[in-house]
Amino acid sequence: MLTTLVNNTVDAIQTSKKIFVDTFVKHEGLAKIMHEFVDAQNEYTKKAIEVGFTTASNMHKTVTDKSFYTETAKSMQESAKAIFNTQK
């Protein structure tokens, strides 16, 4: 749902850029090049958002898993033992 909202926002912004080009750039060659650039921006932006959402989702899954905290605590204890030489 959030992805759809964000993608629709990206599309609206990119469409406004194309309308701007159509309104103010009267040379067909330049307008075509600028439309291609806007299309590339659209594709890149949507892919970057997709990767960002995937990364955030995976990070959330990792940090909400109990094993993340037990492994982190164990690692910190081992580090403390090595630093303070308190091994028993």
Cα gap 37→23, rounded to integer Å: 16
* 28-48 per-position pLDDT tens digit: 999 999 999 999 999 999 999
User: Is residue 59 pLDDT above 90, yes or no?
Assistant: yes
Question: 82 versus 29: which is more confidently predicted?
Answer: 29
pLDDT bucket at 85, cuts 50 / 70 / 90:
confident
- Candidates 45, 61, 36, 59; CA nearest to 13 is 45
